[in-house]
Structure 1
């Protein structure tokens, strides 16, 4: 293939464009950092088993059953079931609350709405005695109640079926009751995210409102803690008024005075969040078993955001010129020349004398009759000259003849 070289000018233009692109993009300030990945979400750590149940045999294999303890950041402990049959749980694994649609485990989280119904209508939300009565089992133990509940959850979360043989009769009977009566609980019963601020950081210039932070919370009202230099306020973008509390959907920004030095500010939110039964928790840092809350609770959640700004640019404003009344002009006004006093007897005007045209003044073109006269004079002069030459030659010729 023939190689085509660009002209030198085109190469130079390309280098200039590349340099400009590097200045504009490659050397630009780094983009605002995203907030902490799980800020505002409920997070916790798996710290062990709360209670063990009866082991069960499924068509996919045998498994022990347990209620797991999930310790939240504020110390609250939730009890959870497994919804990821084929993944083992990791000791001290970090977990974060998320939506059902973001289930990360092996196998489909097939029917979460029916899992939700089972959680609401079985152990431990319903006592073993009450669950046994509903299923027609006398003296149902807590271990059997737990085992049957976990087996029923796996049926709808991972498509697992309890085997007819090899299981406790009471476990099988409660399992059949739960699977046969499970209903879809609408997903609207799954609470939305509890607290978040978007974006997490913003940049700007003094003399403007820096940031457009959007608040999302399930709380009615959340108090705001602001850390900012004197004169800088966190304001509601809709009203321009300083804020001390925020609600879901509010948009706020830092109002930075024009004379402020370069600086930064931040604000934080904290509220009590309700963790409902049926909330999904997935591994935050390692691959581990996905959990779902067996019983809800309350916990503290927090979120924060920050902003930075540079000094106002644009240079110094020009100094206005002083008005004439404030400062006199340095150049004195010329003294007017007095007009001469007219004499009583008027003087005789001198004969007008035409002035010579200025050197740079164009002369008038010769046109019309003047041009015709000049031509006639020229012709006459030519005729007179020719006649004189003729007479002179004739005289010389005559003199020559006489001498001969």
Structure 2
């Protein structure tokens, strides 16, 4: 009689244990978090060519053209802008979105935005060439030289670029005047957004206020257009009161009553607002394009929206015939008395009826413990079967002898 049963038994036990272990680790793996949108800029525009060209300047050993760029917004309003990203070229027909100074994506550092903002307010085209020439002490200043000197001064503070010594006297005079007089306006001097909502999306659970959306705008009260299931309202985060209009600085969220089915809601805003001088516009595409900053703003119709989703709260457990979980730890059962016989039984005893015992969910460390216990039980069972068959074989051989 062969003993091949034991290796096969042990092999099956190991396979079962491995499968259980892999299953355990699979159940314990956390789901990856979805990325969350953090900023919803509302004003979009497209680069549609140059408004005017200035005198070429020599910066960092390179002759570089200077221009004011046309940025056409979605409602047809055209803004004029300067470049604040010396090391990145502009892409034809690139789309841009209004954004915050802190989100400047250029290759060069936007090191002193406060001084750039001062220059925009005190140079060309905010001032005429004649006015800028008088301030800078440059007689007969042309628009081309005013533009070239202004752009060079902006690059000095946005990208740490210095004007070389062999530029024409008018451009050099404007450049030196602007960098010498520029004041580092505080970060709070950044002009307000025409309209934005931060963030653009949120998620939560019924029975709570979902989302915390901050409105930024330079417009007055803006009516709210709500798209939500019955019972869901838009409320002020601080007071909890429902809102029908919002202003700059307001923070709102969706009040979702407990028991509301999983769903979604959104709100939108639309108004006429000003895109001010000094607002940053960055490219929407993954392909880098020059970052622009408004030299002359304008009024435009703007809109923004935000949305939220929620899961149903207070999950209920389906009714069962099993008794509820006991509030106290069950007492340890007494160990059974050992059998008087040393011979293991060939017929395993019937398992105790545990159908009425309460069960608990198995997760994490508890699941790992059960897997380990299962492996130990399989090993013990395999050993018992092996000993039983060996003794039976020995008994049979004794009878045959």
TM score, norm. by length of structure 2: 0.65
Which residue in 2 is equivalent to 1:20? 27
The Cα of 1:82 is off from its aligned counterpart by 1.4
Q: What SS does the corresponding residue of 1:87 show, helix, strand or coil?
A: coil
Contact kept in structure 1, 2:234 and 2:242, CA below 8 Å: yes
Q: What SS does the corresponding residue of 1:18 show, helix, strand or coil?
A: helix
Distance 2:251 2:109 in 1: 37
Which residue in 2 is equivalent to 1:401? none
Which residue in 2 is equivalent to 1:212? 211
Which residue in 1 is equivalent to 2:309? 307
Which residue in 2 is equivalent to 1:39? 40
Could you tell which deviates more after superposition, 75-84 or 188-197? Answer: 188-197
Which residue in 2 is equivalent to 1:52? 53
Contact kept in structure 1, 2:66 and 2:148, CA below 8 Å: yes
Which residue in 2 is equivalent to 1:275? 275
Which residue in 2 is equivalent to 1:116? 117
Which residue in 2 is equivalent to 1:135? 136
Contact kept in structure 1, 2:264 and 2:307, CA below 8 Å: no
Contact kept in structure 1, 2:41 and 2:98, CA below 8 Å: no
Which residue in 2 is equivalent to 1:189? 189
After superposition, residues 284-303 of structure 1 pair within 5 angstroms as 284-285=284-285, 286-299=287-300, 300-303=302-305
Alignment partner of 1:229 is 2:217? no
Which residue in 2 is equivalent to 1:345? none
TM score, norm. by length of structure 1: 0.65
Equivalent residues, number = 304
Unmatched 5+ stretches in structure 2: 1-10, 320-401
Q: What SS does the corresponding residue of 1:294 show, helix, strand or coil?
A: strand
Alignment partner of 1:71 is 2:78? no
The Cα of 1:49 is off from its aligned counterpart by 0.3
After superposition, residues 133-172 of structure 1 pair within 5 angstroms as 133-165=134-166, 167-172=167-172
The Cα of 1:316 is off from its aligned counterpart by 8.9
Which residue in 1 is equivalent to 2:104? 103
The Cα of 1:80 is off from its aligned counterpart by 0.9
Distance 2:102 2:50 in 1: 26
After superposition, residues 387-398 of structure 1 pair within 5 angstroms as none
Contact kept in structure 1, 2:39 and 2:200, CA below 8 Å: no
Distance 1:237 1:204 in 2: 16
1:239/1:82 Cα in 2 relative to 1: closer, same or farther (>3 Å)? closer
After superposition, residues 372-387 of structure 1 pair within 5 angstroms as none
Q: What SS does the corresponding residue of 2:157 show, helix, strand or coil?
A: helix
1:76-112 CA-partner distances (Å, limit 9, x unpaired): 2211111222321110112233333433323333333
Distance 1:217 1:243 in 2: 16
Distance 2:313 2:171 in 1: 71
Distance 1:139 1:210 in 2: 63
The Cα of 1:67 is off from its aligned counterpart by 0.2
1:103-122 CA-partner distances (Å, limit 9, x unpaired): 33233333332222221111
After superposition, residues 296-375 of structure 1 pair within 5 angstroms as 296-299=297-300, 300-310=302-312, 313-314=315-316
Larger RCO (alpha carbons 8 Å, 6+ apart): 2
1:115/1:251 Cα in 2 relative to 1: closer, same or farther (>3 Å)? closer
Contact kept in structure 2, 1:233 and 1:256, CA below 8 Å: no
1:124-153 CA-partner distances (Å, limit 9, x unpaired): 000111111112233222112111211222
The Cα of 1:61 is off from its aligned counterpart by 0.6
The Cα of 1:217 is off from its aligned counterpart by 1.9
1:265/1:141 Cα in 2 relative to 1: closer, same or farther (>3 Å)? same
1:287-313 CA-partner distances (Å, limit 9, x unpaired): 111222112233314122133554975
Distance 1:185 1:308 in 2: 43
The Cα of 1:48 is off from its aligned counterpart by 0.7
Contact kept in structure 1, 2:258 and 2:313, CA below 8 Å: no
Q: What SS does the corresponding residue of 1:148 show, helix, strand or coil?
A: helix
1:213/1:126 Cα in 2 relative to 1: closer, same or farther (>3 Å)? same
Between Structure 1 and Structure 2, whose CA radius of gyration is higher? 1
Q: What SS does the corresponding residue of 2:288 show, helix, strand or coil?
A: coil
Distance 2:212 2:74 in 1: 25
1:75/1:18 Cα in 2 relative to 1: closer, same or farther (>3 Å)? same
Distance 2:148 2:257 in 1: 60
1:13/1:72 Cα in 2 relative to 1: closer, same or farther (>3 Å)? same
Q: What SS does the corresponding residue of 2:155 show, helix, strand or coil?
A: helix
Which residue in 1 is equivalent to 2:350? none
The Cα of 1:162 is off from its aligned counterpart by 2.7
